[in-house]
Structure 1
Amino acid sequence: MALVDQEHMKEAGYRLSEATPGDFIALLKPRVMSLVVFTAFVGMAMAPATPNPLLALIAIAAIAVGAGASGALNMWYDADIDAVMSRTKGRPVPSGRVTPGEALAFGLVLSALSVGVLGLMANWVAGALLAFTIFFYAVIYTMWLKRSTPQNIVIGGAAGALPPVVGWAAVTGTVSVESLILFLIIFLWTPPHFWALALFKSADYERAGIPMLPNVAGHAATKKQIFIYALLLAASGLLPVWAGFASLAYGAVAAALGVGFVWYSWRVLQMPESDQAMKPAKALFGYSLLYLFVLFTALLADRLAASLGFGFGS
């Protein structure tokens, strides 16, 4: 009977889904989600109040689902350009394993679920911030900025920088200077991180017609912008000490990481145009991932040490 129904559906023009659970997990962009969850958790941990552990777990889960919803909506809308880029052509939608309608419905349902759960279980300031984050990434960045301006990553980076603000708000119900400093660090980290990738993937972006900075302004201008942002990022990493919510021990770690980021960016700046291997750009891209993880881990360790009575933190 089931086989007969399937044949009738095919004859009527319906396409049976070939998606597996793994395909829907891929729609969530798990690697991006893991970074979102980690920075949101640090935002919660740095907050002055101590949340109920169960509510904190629910809040983190809601933020993770919201991040995954953003990824699914991004893959739904970007299926056309993903199909022509070597880095993304194997994604579930351009490969045909998930239909665009399935990806859209999946993303919308998860968006509503994540915002509703966070608002009801934590507070509606956090819920509203999560809703804005999803909207900014899916609509402002994906549908508008990504295809229209070489500053797409700069402005669109706000979406990726908001998770620690959402985490902080989930605990306190407010947005503070401290949470905005965490936002600023990720906001300034995003352009050099993605422009390093764009330097050695410029042919991909060229095929897709995405106006990434190297394709519009050239490699020389991109390398200068990377170096400028590296300097700003290195300085921003020290702001938690200046604002009084991190110790001098954290400051030493942040300073060392910042010097490393500037050094890798300097190597990119000095990279000759004839360097087809793009080794300095690839090295910076790899270091940038390590930088953000270690910096936020240092913040977390610093807060734990302060809570136990060690260190110079507040």
Structure 2
Amino acid sequence: MSFSGRVKEELARMCPRARHCRLAELAAVTGMCGEWREEETGSLSFSVHSENIAVVRKCFTLIEKTFNIGNEIAVRTAVRRNLQKDSSAYYLYASGECLRAVRHADVQAVCCKRAYLRGAFLSSGSMSDPGKSYHFEIVCNTLEKAQYLQQLMQDFGLEARIVRRKKNIIVYLKEGDRIVDALNVMDAPVALMELENVRILKDMRNNVNRKVNCETANINKTVSAAVKQRDDIEYIRDMVGLSGLPDGLRDVALTRLAYPDASLKELGGLLENPIGKSGVNHRLRKLSEMADKLRDSKEVQYDQETSNN
């Protein structure tokens, strides 16, 4: 089962104790995947249809715990097979005058807002696998419903966004910490802990990768610098020789040629008269400047010979 499916299974098992919260969650379910109808007898009815049987089960449970089934309200359920899509659709039909309490549910209290968001996600929401990406969305068929959901989520500090996708309006979250907060709001502690564990593992992996990349970059930088130092020293040796260099520069030059992989600190300890890292760096910079001047003079000489010819 997908992560989104496990979240819905957990939400489907959670039933509010308070009647007003059950009405709020029923209002969300009927608003997202239901249809209301005024019967010829004057009573009210609604039908809920979903490809997720957990939605229909949850709707039945909420009705059963809120109303007196058989006396005040009639409920029927059915399963219809869609041969073209090779999938099943589950239907629930309920009728009764008392259902007006669902249609006009007061979603003002914090607990009722939580229940409404839970019902909305259960009915038409989905989440991506947190191991791959962070994405939470609820599909609405009207902009009005999307804006209402967005406002409810903002009441909990969830900065949800709205985007149009074909004929539907999507209310979504992309940040991992916001999705954790959304699961907390909807009372899905098991899914919340699973998501947090995935986030911790991903953060650890990312930190390790950053450290490895940083160390690799430093190693590459050190190796590149050592190669250039050796090239500069070899150029000086081939052009004018190393014997005429001051003792300190000659000592560093010969030691670098003998130990091309040594760090500056190691190089300083290998000299006849050991010095620190900054001293080694200073002498190598002097050698580099000397090599650059020799190259420049060589180019000037070459340009003069070319112009004379």
Class of the TM-score when normalised by the shorter of the 2 chains: under 0.3
Using the size of structure 1 for normalisation, the TM-score is: 0.24
Structure number with higher relative contact order (C-alpha < 8 Å, ≥ 6 residues apart)? 1
Using the size of structure 2 for normalisation, the TM-score is: 0.25
Which of the two has greater helix per residue?
Answer: 1
